[in-house]
Amino acid sequence: MEAGEFAAVAEPFRRELTTHCYRMLGAADEAQDVVQETYLRAWRGWGRFEGRSSVRVWLYRIATNACLTALGQRARRPLPSGLGAPADEPGAEATFDPDLPWLQPLADDPADTVVRRESLRLALIASLQLLPPRQRAVLLLREVLEFPAADVASLLDMSVPAVKSSLQRARATLDAARGEPLSDPASPEARAQLDAYMAAFVDTDMTALEEALRKDATLEVVPSRTWFAGKATCVPYLASVLGYPGEWAMFPVGANGQPAVVVYRAGIAFGVVLLSPTPTGLAGIVLFTGADQVDRFGYPPVLPPTAPSPAR
């Protein structure tokens, strides 16, 4: 088969394979690398593909096993809240750990369905990291992708009873870690909370920012192990970084099926914030700092002087 013919058969599955690998690995960059490796392996092995399964199932077999190999070589990817208790004081010195393999956000695809977006929520991706890699693969293949148990057993070289047992254990772990449902990011309440958050920062309105948060809101900044829980610590910390009017510029994007903003400070790319909206206010703020995070969403490292902030 010529390269063009192979691409025509295999390329339609690239986006969904990338999403699957992201769920497995918790990192957008790593997922793209694994998918690239998957296509290279598939191209090299195309002559041995005998059509006993669909091309889609065959690609998932290669990709999932590549993910399992990658996961065997490193520790899980956490968020700060997965590493210890929150700080008691808003002025607590941040403990940065840039060498830790942190969880990364994934930019939304406009073509994603509601179900696909919900399966990418940041809290769920973090919870998946608690599962042993093979359990994680079983759960994703069965629950998210809805592959039959027999197909999963074939993909992972397991027996059907072993697949069912792994799925049961994975469900039990996730049920214990499952958080409350979030508002649909397209809902009026979620949009209003996103707008209020952006406007509060751009206008240096601490009152509005405090009103946007729930009493039990959490605040996390990657790559710091230090995080905060509750308004008593979140609000003073935010006040310490709020700065002056116009210092911050924010642009709404979508990430992990949640409202998000690309953030600039004094015109320099600062990071990406993911928000967790609920009917009673923002339950969580996670900031992923760094120009590399901004670049993943297609924004430049330096903001053009004429670019207005949508929050204004």
Domains and CATH numbers, the chain: 1-72 (1.10.1740.10), 122-181 (1.10.10.10), 188-295 (3.10.450.50)
CB-CB neighbours of 165 under 10 Å: 14
Specify the pTM: 0.91
| Alpha helices, DSSP H, located in the chain | 3-10, 14-25, 28-44, 55-71, 114-118, 122-128, 133-139, 149-156, 160-177, 188-202, 206-212, 231-241, 291-295
Q: Is 310 exposed, middle or buried (0-12, 13-18, 19+ CB in 10 A)?
A: middle
The per-residue pLDDT string of the chain (312 residues; one tens digit each, 9 = 90 and over) reads 566 778 888 899 999 999 999 999 999 999 999 999 999 999 888 777 766 678 899 999 999 999 999 999 888 899 999 999 999 998 888 899 999 999 999 999 877 666 677 889 999 999 999 999 999 999 999 999 999 999 999 999 999 999 999 999 999 998 877 777 889 888 999 999 999 999 999 899 999 999 999 999 999 999 999 999 999 999 999 999 988 898 999 999 999 999 999 999 999 999 999 999 999 999 999 999 999 999 999 999 999 877 655 654
